[in-house]
Structure 1
């Protein structure tokens, strides 16, 4: 009787063991199947400007003139500092004029000697003409005295030019501003020996203003833009020039944009940093312009598209490519800014493919 009553319990135990083994097998199958679902890295869509390039620039004068002496010498005094406003004709630097004064005295002495030599040659020529008229000497002897007179006249011309040059040099010992403006830089100090033509300072002339920027890519550069100052003022600008070659260090291209003729120079202080928006905004037919990494674009026969993840499955989204950059693409899509799309490996995805988002 005891053995007969234990058979139902044995049967129940057997069923429980079978059910437990089957559940474990299903869990093992799920664990083995889960690694086959690929991970994908996601990236959020960002808003893109309508073709505008935003840069920081520096306000510069249209004409920036190096200031230099026309003669060399020892710098006696410096009368200006960097950042100082100057008027036309204002004294900037002075040279030691002792050597110039000595040269002027020497030139004056040479001029006096040349004048005396010419007077002597003329008197001798006149005396010889009288002797020829009286028949004491032949007419051929006049040639030698006429040649001496012409030589003395030439020496006088040289002496006069030398004297005028030394008088001019006396005026060159004082360096004055050719135009009104601002001294933006000073590169010399009193006591320094300078040479003719050596730049001692830079004069930013008053008047027209320009903005100097460095473009990240080669020309053609945007022809126009909008300038925004630190005080909230705004001004349109036009391209004036672009450097013929890229900077060897930064690999950028220097460009100058001039302000409109009606602008007030006082509103744009020299050296101030401003924000420059270059180019015209591009109007899209519909939707908002966005930008994504180039790797997120999937180019197939159906056209360019992005991939998003919906309920754990990959779903393609057709897009319109507006512009391709070095690392980013400007697009127009039905998605909103901030929506996440697959950033890498889009060429391996198929519609409805199970994927898992990789947490960043």
Structure 2
């Protein structure tokens, strides 16, 4: 019995000692293994986008009066001259309105002549002392009223005659009809667009930029035949399209050949600032432009960032995304050549984490 008790006590002591030795290494966690990639500095970064050839003036056309479309004289893509008839309304109601206005004008003219004749008779009687001065004043006021009614009737007649002329929609300038939405038999209201005219003359290139890129002041367009044309910014949309997340810009392109059709797609190239010349939006000191793996971007915080590895520790570096594709992103950030950033799994990282690099 004594020997059994001693053996049991020694077994318990050895078991406790083993547990203490096993718990000792748990005080310090092993560093996480992360895949890293070096940042690649860029020179003067170039942004290539597709642009569309547009006319400087593209005006939607509409009738100034309402009615039913009786005829369509042009098709989309057709060149027209100034004053050429594009569409016509049924003039029946407009003709009746003219006749009614002519009758009103004739009646007003007759009423004026009657009032003038009455005024002459009253004046003659007043000279002989047969009527009072009050009767003369009434006759003069009636003549003035008849004159005003005649003038109003003539103004209405001129208005309805203009409306009859508005039954024909004419091209305000020479150009190309890019779209026709009005069809014969369709009833349209005054001011409802029925066609679009791209006026002849100056042409431009329309480009849509990502919302993170401000439209540059200049660039160049490469035509289908290989020639290049200089671009100069004329206007840029003040707001970003909320659906497409793009910003529209129009560029003057004086060297576009006249045989290049409107709507043609050209390749545009714009120079973006390179390292040390990209100014952040808040006006702080300039930062460089780098290319990083698209998986290195982390957008959990208030803005996009990447995770830089320094001395085995993680640091979050805010970045400004300039453009990206399915593999890489071009960012403006205060990074240095030769530094490495975490390329995958950024959603699991925290500032100050101890990591072990595994080059990608």
The question of 1:343 aligning with 2:343 is answered yes
Measured in 2, the distance between the counterparts of 1:218 and 1:290 equals: 15
Measured in 2, the distance between the counterparts of 1:97 and 1:177 equals: 19
Match of 2:165 among 146, 171, 190: 171
- Structure 1 counterpart of 2:3: none
Q: Is the 8 A contact 1:75 1:193 kept in 2?
A: yes
Match of 1:73 among 64, 67, 76: 67
Cα gap change, 1:70/1:40 in structure 2, threshold over 3 Å: closer, same or farther? Answer: same
Match of 1:140 among 127, 134, 140: 134
- Structure 1 counterpart of 2:94: 100
TM-score (norm 1): 0.71
Unaligned runs of 5+ in 1: 1-35, 306-320
Q: 1:349: how far off?
A: 7.8
Q: 1:76: how far off?
A: 0.3
Q: Report Cα offsets for 1:300-347 as digits up to 9, x if no partner.
A: 49xx99xxxxxxxxxxxxxxx9x8526544677479xxxx99735898
Q: Is the 8 A contact 1:208 1:265 kept in 2?
A: no
The question of 1:275 aligning with 2:241 is answered no
Cα gap change, 1:89/1:77 in structure 2, threshold over 3 Å: closer, same or farther? Answer: same
TM-score (norm 2): 0.71
Q: Write out aligned runs for 1:27-42 (5 A).
A: 41=35
Q: Is the 8 A contact 1:290 1:332 kept in 2?
A: no
Cα gap change, 1:227/1:283 in structure 2, threshold over 3 Å: closer, same or farther? Answer: farther
Q: Write out aligned runs for 1:119-158 (5 A).
A: 119-158=113-152
Q: Is the 8 A contact 1:209 1:265 kept in 2?
A: no
Q: Write out aligned runs for 1:305-316 (5 A).
A: none
Unaligned runs of 5+ in 2: 1-29, 278-288, 298-305, 323-328
- Structure 1 counterpart of 2:85: 91
- Moved runs in structure 1, 4+ residues, more than 6 A? 44-47, 345-350
Instruction: Name the Cα RMSD after superposition.
Output: 3.5
- Structure 2 counterpart of 1:291: 291
Q: Is the 8 A contact 2:211 2:246 kept in 1?
A: yes
Measured in 2, the distance between the counterparts of 1:195 and 1:85 equals: 26
Q: 1:134: how far off?
A: 0.9
- Structure 2 counterpart of 1:325: 321
Q: 1:248: how far off?
A: 1.9
Measured in 2, the distance between the counterparts of 1:89 and 1:108 equals: 27
Aligned length: 297
Measured in 1, the distance between the counterparts of 2:213 and 2:37 equals: 32
